[in-house]
A and B are shown apart, each in its own frame.
Chain A
Amino acid sequence: MYLYVFICTWIIADFVNYLLPGYRLWEEIIWGLIPAFGVMKMMYLRDRVSWPVMDFPQSYVGKGLLPIIIYLGVWIIFACHNPADPKPLPYLPIVNPLELVQLFSIIITLNWLSLIKQEEIPKINSLNLSYAFNLVALIAFVYITSVVAHAVHFYAGVRFDEYTMFSSEVFQASISIVWTLLAFIVMCFGTRRQFRKIWFVGASLLSIVVIKLFLIDLADSGGIARIVSFLTVGVLVLVIGYFSPIPPKKKATVT
């Protein structure tokens, strides 16, 4: 199965390179798209093809898919370092080949994990589902940050390298706002579902943003971007305080 996925990926990447010479991104996304598509196909076939998938479910849809899933996670992180220039098309956040394939890979991974949780796919003893979901959440967080970096690169003309991006006040202001929005969504979700753990994840992210505001953003407090980020984050913190109070502790049931 691995050899099949690898050869398919290689051939299709080469074919795309032939079709779109000079547009390297379209070739590079194939190295994430085809393995992710392979995982999706195996999940789809799990109760449709009697042999060999149904006869050997652990090898084909369970433990057997784990190396490809790990590869996808690594690929998503590495792909974040790509400037994501979708030429000949213009850049649009998320609606561009690289970020769409990254998102597709994240969703496929989540889908696979949730099928394991629902026991539609045989459980893998060595895989701690809770840790796996947390890891996917972390990868998704890195992905969202990279989307912001790409957008700043294309719309604000900031060069796409770590040093320039980190020193850019537009990038720092943008991630402050996006991370606060993310914290807001996570905390609202935690409040609605009464999940204290999730609420605390959001609260931690918000704390990181506040610390970042004082340690990094304040260093150039005169910049308009920084002023906007201070104001926006301040307003969002107020909104969070109003809409998503901490969920109460679950009371121990007395028997």
Chain B
Amino acid sequence: MKYILLILLICAVNVFAVENESMHEYARGFELNIEQQSAIYKIALPGAVYKTATKKDLSDIRIFNQDNEPVPHVIQQSKMKTGTKIGSLELPFFPIASEKINLASSALDITVTSEGKVVRIQSEGGDSELNQDTVKHYLIDASHINTSIDSIDFKLSGLESGYAKAFRLDYSNDLNQWLTLVDYATLTELKYGQHALKNTRVNLPHKNIKYIRFTWLNDVDRLAITSVKANFKDEYLPDNQYWSTSKLINKKIDQATYVFDTGGVFNIEQIDIELPEDNTLIDVIIESRAGNDLPWVKRLNGVFYKLYFEELELTGKPVTVSSNKDRYWQIRFQSTDGIGNVEPVLKYAWRPNYLYFLARGNAPYILAVGNANTNINNHVASRLMNVLNQDVGNEMVGLAKVGKEIILKGDSALVMQKTLPWQRIALWGILIVGVIVIATMVIRLARNMEKTGGS
């Protein structure tokens, strides 16, 4: 009896045992290029990884070292605003000859995108008339900055002998209403013998500003601005959100329903519908699902539009959805008369996860992805995460870059092979035996209590 139990135990261990994996069980790999020596490396997962992964929780991603051994890794959800920190940023600027800067002004033709970015400014007489003497203002576009600017550095050209010029700055958020930002300031660059005095920076009050108007206070000897650089007190963090376009895979024109495939398990945060025709306004229900055989889950109900008003484009903003990794998205129009015959385009914003791995073994390391048949739990992940959170500072984490893609097993690794789920069968077996044992005990207990007379 004891021997049978021992054999059963060994079989059970084999059923549950974690087998070693090889990178050749995965569909694709990416070479990881590391620059400096470190114990832990961090990479932002590229879009191709999400398109190859078969598991929503990205559990079919592994890092292998040169000896084809898997090394411990953990995938962390990236947080908002965790891009590369920068201290300053070049701002686009536009010289303007007219006295007023106003969207409604007939002397000035300003083209602004739906996000507010100035893309073109044309004066009444055309760009050919613009020179240092005719330029009255400079329009500085800071609409893409989502934090306050601490100061601005100007670079000027014109007088080599030196200059000291006074100017003022105004700001606006709509290019129509202008308010004073800096009433009086000077840009100075003077040389005398061995001495030099230079002040090309102006400090700004703490404000979120979209547009800045630069105006010289003297009409004579105006200098040309050649560069405008914004400096940030708290380092400006560019958003690491990416926009991609999904593929239309099914449409039912009579029901005004369109089905899109994002092509992967992207962590989707925002949705935008690009309308094919101008002056369109639609009310839609957006639904999603992870697989083709699952029911649609309603995500939101929203209005999208694309309208033109006196050459100004008014477009609905992208809508935020509760973060999910559903691959299939369906848009249903509330009425069938809003869109015409052309197809809408569904765009989605996603944010990459960060993968940390321990540099065990020798480089080069390969990021392998896409294995529908792996069911190994990454149980070291939570421990590694704790180490990362508590013991290891950011300075100890090296950066790795994703290099060229290599085909490992190919697309055959993405197909689920039908094998018996031994682990589940064994656990069901244990439960059924448990139920039988307990039922027997209950019957015996009831009989026993019957004998002794009840309570």
Name A's B-contacting residues (CB within 8 A).
19-22, 26, 88-89, 95-97, 100-101, 103-104, 107-108, 110-111, 114, 117-118, 133, 193, 195, 197-198
Is B416 an interface position by the 8 A CB rule?
Answer: no
The answer to whether A21 and B434 touch across the interface, beta carbons within 8 angstroms, is no
The answer to whether A114 and B452 touch across the interface, beta carbons within 8 angstroms, is yes
Inter-chain CA distance A98–B442, complex, in Å, is 18
Inter-chain CA distance A107–B377, complex, in Å, is 35
Closest to B454 in A: A193
In the complex, 26 of the A-B residue pairs with CB atoms within 8 angstroms, ordered by the A residue number, are: A19-B13, A21-B377, A88-B423, A88-B424, A95-B431, A96-B431, A97-B430, A97-B431, A100-B431, A100-B435, A104-B438, A104-B441, A107-B438, A107-B442, A107-B445, A108-B441, A111-B441, A111-B444, A111-B445, A114-B449, A117-B452, A118-B448, A118-B451, A193-B454, A193-B455, A195-B454
8 Å CB contacts to A: which residues of B407-455? 423-424, 427-428, 430-431, 434-435, 437-438, 441-442, 444-445, 448-449, 451-452, 454-455
| Chain A residues positioned under 8 Å from B454 (CB to CB) | 193, 195
The answer to whether A100 and B452 touch across the interface, beta carbons within 8 angstroms, is no
| Chain B residues positioned under 8 Å from A100 (CB to CB) | 431, 434-435, 438
Is B80 an interface position by the 8 A CB rule?
Answer: no
Closest to B432 in A: A95
Partner of A21, one of B18, B435, B437, B449: B18
| Chain B residues positioned under 8 Å from A110 (CB to CB) | 445
Closest to B424 in A: A88
The answer to whether A114 and B434 touch across the interface, beta carbons within 8 angstroms, is no
The answer to whether A104 and B452 touch across the interface, beta carbons within 8 angstroms, is no
The answer to whether A89 and B428 touch across the interface, beta carbons within 8 angstroms, is yes
Distance (Å) between the CB of B306 and the closest chain A CB? 38
The answer to whether B449 and A22 touch across the interface, beta carbons within 8 angstroms, is no
| Tally of A-B Cβ pairs under 8 angstroms | 59
Name B's A-contacting residues (CB within 8 A).
12-13, 16, 18, 377, 379, 423-424, 427-428, 430-431, 434-435, 437-438, 441-442, 444-445, 448-449, 451-452, 454-455
The answer to whether A195 and B455 touch across the interface, beta carbons within 8 angstroms, is yes
The answer to whether A21 and B379 touch across the interface, beta carbons within 8 angstroms, is yes
Inter-chain CA distance A117–B453, complex, in Å, is 11
Closest to A89 in B: B427
The answer to whether B441 and A107 touch across the interface, beta carbons within 8 angstroms, is yes
Partner of B431, one of A88, A89, A111, A114: A89
The answer to whether A198 and B16 touch across the interface, beta carbons within 8 angstroms, is no
Partner of A19, one of B12, B431, B444, B451: B12
Q: A19-B16, A89-B427, A100-B434 are in contact. List 11 more A-B contacts (CB 8 A).
A: A20-B16, A26-B427, A88-B424, A89-B431, A95-B435, A96-B431, A103-B438, A104-B437, A108-B441, A114-B445, A118-B452
Inter-chain CA distance A42–B441, complex, in Å, is 15
| Chain A residues positioned under 8 Å from B442 (CB to CB) | 107
The answer to whether B428 and A104 touch across the interface, beta carbons within 8 angstroms, is no
| Chain B residues positioned under 8 Å from A117 (CB to CB) | 452
Give the residue among B428, B435, B455 with the most A Cβ atoms within 10 A.
B455
Closest to A33 in B: B434
Distance (Å) between the CB of B218 and the closest chain A CB? 68
| Chain B residues positioned under 8 Å from A95 (CB to CB) | 431, 435
| Chain A residues positioned under 8 Å from B13 (CB to CB) | 19
